[in-house]
Amino acid sequence: MKPVSIVTAALGCVLVLVGIFFLVVSRGGYGIVPLAIGATLVYLGFRPGRTSLAVFGHTCIIIGCVLVTLGIYLLPYSRPSLGHVFFRPLFWGMFSILGGVCANYHAFCNCIKRRPAEKL
């Protein structure tokens, strides 16, 4: 099957490979984050539409909640520097949650509802 959105599918494949690499190399389960987001991006690249966009949004929200929880646990070990703010899981968890909410709203937007059915 040929991907409809090649860039989305390629980015998803790269994230899946990075996630598998981190699962194999690291002791923690930190590779699950790029693996889950990459898998939903591959699905979104092959089957664009409301359902796949909603699945992507919900996956981002779930991953974001995990990252926020991890970030809260790491707060006592973080310095209040700009690097620690932008490169710790708390920031990326909030970013992911808000991006997932945006994707879910967009899945039910009129621009998606009115789009003619794409032939696959």
pLDDT of residue 95: 92
Q: With beta carbons less than 8 A apart as the criterion, state whether 62 and 42 touch.
A: no
> What is d(CA 48, CA 56) in angstroms, rounded to the nearest whole number?
11
**pLDDT tens for each residue of 79-113:** 778 887 888 888 889 999 999 999 999 888 777 66
Mean pLDDT over 63-88 rounds to 86
> What is d(CA 68, CA 94) in angstroms, rounded to the nearest whole number?
7
> What is d(CA 110, CA 120) in angstroms, rounded to the nearest whole number?
22
Q: Which two tokens stand for residue 56?
A: 């992507």
